[in-house]
Amino acid sequence: MSTYRVAQVATAGGPFELAEREVPQPGPGHVRIAVDACGICRSDAMFVNAALPGVGFPVVPGHEIAGRVEVLGDGTEDQGWQAGDRVAVGWFGGSCGHCTPCRQGDFVVCDNLKAPGWAYDGGYAEAVIVPAGALARIPGSLTAADAAPLACAGVTVFNGLRRSSARHGDLVAVLGIGGLGHLAVRYAVAMGYETVAIARGAAKSDFAKQLGAHHYIDSTAGMSVADALQSLGGAKVVLATAANSAAIAATVDGLTHRGELVVIGADSEPLGINPAQLIMRSRTVRGHASGTAQDIQDTMEFSALHGIRPMIEVLPLNRAGEAYDKMLSGAARFRMVLTTG
């Protein structure tokens, strides 16, 4: 093909439009991917609305990419990649290799992180060029549409749990059972935790149990979330996927001694936590962001092994605007995915 289609936004906050571009060739250390599927993440709104520095327009969002290696740039074969390899790329779209975090081996917090849709065109497209270091292999049992959301939503909660202080049998709570949380509950159960799902309304109890949760807490019921967690013995870890600072802060007193609050849901409002809540019980609060290409591959392999798949709605690339709006409205159940086939 000599041209390929992208779904782009021409100005900050503008509508999506389809455009055709000349097919680019990958430079040294890069590959061109034929995109089969791309998930839509709430973080894409930061690029569409120019909420981050350095966003250029027109912008092609998309950092939940699944496809096939099509063309290899110089040096990539030495890294073990071949044309036709099925690969995924997530929020981690490459790192600089020379900043202090990179020199310490902590690539996902690189000072110059190359997130697709920000550092270069993202996956709302039929093709994308990415650094070979950002590639993760997709297991044969995963479809592209299932693999795509695991490259961001999946790896974020998977890594958040496996790098937490929780151990087998510990009580672990997941706040929110939406696009991130529905995967987090399933991972927590598969990792051997006594799993609590926390959400708004009694109607979500059955869904939480379908995901495998051992307990459900309705945050709108009479008992506070903290008291409900303490009635279960106190949570060793709360994984906060809901983007609601008040709801996140309400879980802190539900942590056991030396319990850990892992914050994933992004909200612009400050967390209402006082020092005494942390000091008296030696509790910890930390943020967590995504994972490297190897972490993405680990997530996909774990998902394949345990039969875990994201709950998705699929629309074609030419309906990117509709899919994006549905994600923003909160009506998606639970991840919107664009396909190019």
pLDDT at 162: 97
Q: State how far Cα 162 lies from the chain centre.
A: 15
Q: Which has more confidence, 45 or 333?
A: 45
**pLDDT by residue (tens digit) across 67-82?**
999 999 999 988 999 9
**pLDDT by residue (tens digit) across 153-169?**
999 999 999 999 999 99
Three-state DSSP class for 180? coil
How many whole angstroms separate alpha carbon 331 and alpha carbon 325? 9
Three-state DSSP class for 227? helix
Cα three-residue angle 55-62-64, rounded to 5 degrees: 135
Q: Which residue has the tokens 């151990």?
A: 167
Q: Which residue has the tokens 């994933």?
A: 264
Q: What is the DSSP string of 117-177?
A: TTTB--SSBSEEEEEGGG-EEPPTTS-HHHHHHIIIIIHHHHHHHHTSS--TT-EEEEE--
**pLDDT by residue (tens digit) across 40-57?**
999 999 999 999 999 999
Q: Which of 247, 248, 251, 211 is nearest to 234 (CA)?
A: 251
The model carries a pTM of: 0.96
Bond before 149 cis per omega within 30 degrees: no
Q: Are strands 65-72 and 86-89 parallel, antiparallel or unpaired?
A: antiparallel
Q: Which of 251, 237, 264, 106 is nearest to 170 (CA)?
A: 237
Bridge partners of 174, per DSSP, are: 197, 239
> Between the CA atoms of 14, 179, 106 and 168, what dihedral angle is there, to the nearest 10 degrees?
170
CB atoms within 10 A of CB 240: 32
Bond before 16 cis per omega within 30 degrees: no
What's the whole-number mean pLDDT along residues 92-109? 97
**pLDDT by residue (tens digit) across 218-274?**
999 989 999 999 999 999 999 999 999 999 999 999 999 999 999 999 999 999 999
pLDDT at 1: 60
Identity (one letter) of the amino acid at 86? R
Q: What is the DSSP string of 285-329?
A: EEE-----HHHHHHHHHHHHHHT----EEEEEGGGHHHHHHHHHH
Contact 160, 288 (CB under 8 A): yes
pLDDT of 341 above 90: no
How many whole angstroms separate alpha carbon 307 and alpha carbon 294? 20
Three-state DSSP class for 93? coil
**pLDDT by residue (tens digit) across 179-233?**
999 999 999 999 999 999 999 999 999 999 999 999 999 999 989 999 999 999 9
Bridge partners of 59, per DSSP, are: 9
pLDDT at 222: 87
> Between the CA atoms of 159, 164, 167 and 169, what dihedral angle is there, to the nearest 10 degrees?
-80
